[in-house]
Amino acid sequence: MCGLLGLVCASEDDATKARQAVGAAMHCQRHRGPDESDTWADGPVVFGFNRLAFIDVERSHQPLTWGPPESPARYTLNFNGEIYNYQELREQLIAEHDATFATEGDGEAIVAAWHYWGADTALPRLRGMFAFLIWDAEEQVLHGARDPFGIKPLFYAAGPQGTAFSSEKKSLLELTEQLGISGALDTRALQHYLTLQYVPEPETLHLDIRRIESGTSFTVAPGGELRTKRYFVPRFDAQPVRDATESRQLHERIRDVMRDSVGKHMIADPDITVGAFLSGGIDSTAIAALAKEHNPNLIAFTTGFEREGYSEVDVAAESAAAIGVKHVIRTVSADEMMDTLPLIVWYLDDPVADPALVPLWFIAREARKHVKAVLSGEGSDELFGGYTIYREPLSLAPFEKVPGGVRKLIGKVSSKIPEGTRGKDLLRRGALPLEERYYGNARLFRDDQLRGVLRTFDPSAGHQDVTADLYASSTGWDPVSRMQHIDLFTWLRGDILVKADKVTMANSLELRVPFLDHEVFRVASTIPLEEKITKETTKHALRRALADIVPGHVLNRRKLGFPVPIRHWLRNEMYDWARGIINDSATDALLDKPAVLRLLEDHRAGNLDHSRRIWALLLFMLWHGIFVENRIKPEIPEPQYPVLL
């Protein structure tokens, strides 16, 4: 887990000029790797690396040069992440090709696999999270890839002077002059953000900076164009379960693969401690219980608020006691959120309007005082069918039997019903086919609502931009599998994994996600619909598989995650703060600020709950104040490392 930076310039002269800006660009992401920092250059290529060390700490420095015996300096690697099966890969490479290694780390396994097996064979064998660059000095080509699910970020910017890659977008903003790119805002991406609560891949809010998509490899030569190739295409291929014996066997496979994945994710040098985040749900509790099998002294971390209904601290404490782990709790106040939010937005690169990222930031900061890495339960809901919204096809099934003309009429009737009226949204959504009504787990502004606040509203920039091809590739699947497919490419990699990576790495803490493992996905993708969603529960098969691992009080409990009481706070403690952000923001050309203020006043009056939409607008205004206006200047702390271990 680290921060990488790589430039492939059009010429050596461009590279020489760019090297002068690399220091500032690397300093922007120093929090990602405070253990050590280094740069490397070869002709038109410049690499920079900030390391957070876990494996072979003393020798596996980066950028790392490796090659076969006949050409020992052919490749240079810049790698962010962890390869959990690197020892098996090294053994295979030695047995098959007599490969040689100078370190005990996972980085050399990537390069050797790339050399001996080629990208098409090597990439599917990498079990882990990664974003990496490999410069081939003989072929004069830069290769790279990002992990299948998008756990680790990789931004890029291409201009007339070259192409640059980085773990943080803010580092690329330091190189706009050297690359010959602009800092223009992408208004289409802004519209997508206000619809989805995150900026979907491959977009960012800067027009000339994009993201390498999850499960994608790429090549670029000096002065050439970036060429990408998707190497991982997730497919849900449900296998029928014919009787109780086959159902039990499925549950055993799930339990076995989860135990194996958690064991792999505990890997680190002996003096490095791995902990776990713990909420009140089955996912994090199972991870912590399985992790304790490898570390009897495991520490679990929980955050919450001093408001009834917005804290899982008590449930998590009961779970921690039941599985026998030390438990650290951090509560967060409204004042702390308001004071810290500009700093968090700076770390995010682009706004993510998920309020849960704030308590996650505080618990990451607390965890870093005790451990260097944590395990977490991200990905379980997408793989095993855990979101309550996945039960919607059951509730809307009667609408599927209604003729198309009648469904359209139902939609028109729903539009006449006043906002906030019970049943309005059910009728509206029931009138729509799945492809139109479902575009991910978060739905903020509808088009009719956006027209009232977004001055740059473009009727052609809808959620279909993001989901149309995904639906086309899942034709014939059951509706829940199609919704999971949408979320794997949208909500998971746009919201869940972005906030998880950014706020943990802001505190120099590595977050590992055992559910997002390709062996786990291999099993999860075969689960039939009736083993995912029932009338009573979600994640049915996973709950049965983990029945002997998690405490009974958690097994069938619906988790809250990290719930945040912004609905209440925006009416009270946060009202003046929010109004000040809106009034001070220089976003008049983009947003109708009087309309935004009316939303806030309407929410305060209790007429409707606009909290999530207001929150999204506030985060964008803070982002704009930091990255566009340069008016808001958070004080960026130097990483204090090592923190108490």
Q: Spell out the domain ranges in the chain.
A: 2-230, 244-386+489-555, 392-479, 566-627
CATH of region 244-386+489-555? 3.40.50.620
Whole-number Å distance between alpha carbons of 507 and 340? 13
Q: Is the pLDDT of residue 643 over 50?
A: no
Residue-wise pLDDT for 216-235, tens only, equals: 999 999 999 999 999 999 99
pLDDT of the residue at 272: 83
Omega before 63 within 30 of 0, i.e. cis: yes
Token pair 């050297």: residue: 178
Q: Is 106 flagged in the annotation as binding?
A: yes
Domain 2-230: which CATH class?
alpha beta
Q: 518 or 242: which carries more pLDDT confidence?
A: 518
Of residues 1, 2, 22, 582, which has the active-site annotation? 2
Q: Is 481 flagged in the annotation as binding?
A: no
Q: Is the pLDDT of residue 416 over 90?
A: no
pLDDT of the residue at 309: 65
Determine whether 28 is an active site residue.
no
pLDDT of the residue at 164: 97
Residue-wise pLDDT for 158-188, tens only, equals: 999 999 999 999 999 999 988 999 999 999 9
Instruction: Describe the strand order of the beta sheet including 227-230 as a list of residue ranges.
Output: 64-66, 75-83, 128-136, 141-146, 216-220, 227-230
Mean pLDDT across the stretch 581-585?
A: 98
Mean pLDDT across the stretch 514-531?
A: 97
CATH topology of 2-230 equal to that of 244-386+489-555?
no
Q: Is the pLDDT of residue 645 over 50?
A: no
Angle between helices 282-292 and 313-323 (to 10 degrees): 30
Q: In DSSP terms, which residues pair with 509 in a beta bridge?
A: none
Q: Is 377 flagged in the annotation as binding?
A: yes
Residue-wise pLDDT for 44-101, tens only, equals: 999 999 998 888 788 889 999 999 999 999 999 999 999 999 999 999 999 999 999 9
At residue 149's C-alpha, the angle toward residues 143 and 155, to 5°, is 50
Element (DSSP H or E) covering residue 629: none
What's the pLDDT band for 121 if we cut at 50, 70, 90? Answer: very high
pTM given for the model: 0.95
Q: Quick one: which of 18, 527, 498 has its CA closest to 237?
A: 527
In Å, the largest CA–CA distance within the chain is 75
pLDDT of the residue at 564: 87
Per-residue tokens: 490: 């949208």
What's the pLDDT band for 407 if we cut at 50, 70, 90? Answer: confident
- The sign of the torsion formed by the CA atoms of 173, 174, 175, 177 equals positive
Mean pLDDT across the stretch 256-275?
A: 92
**Cβ-based neighbours of 326, under 8 Å, separated by 6 or more:** 297, 298, 299, 300, 320
**Cβ-based neighbours of 358, under 8 Å, separated by 6 or more:** 332, 337, 340, 341, 344, 564
Backbone phi and psi for residue 294, each to the nearest 5 degrees, phi listed first: -100, -25
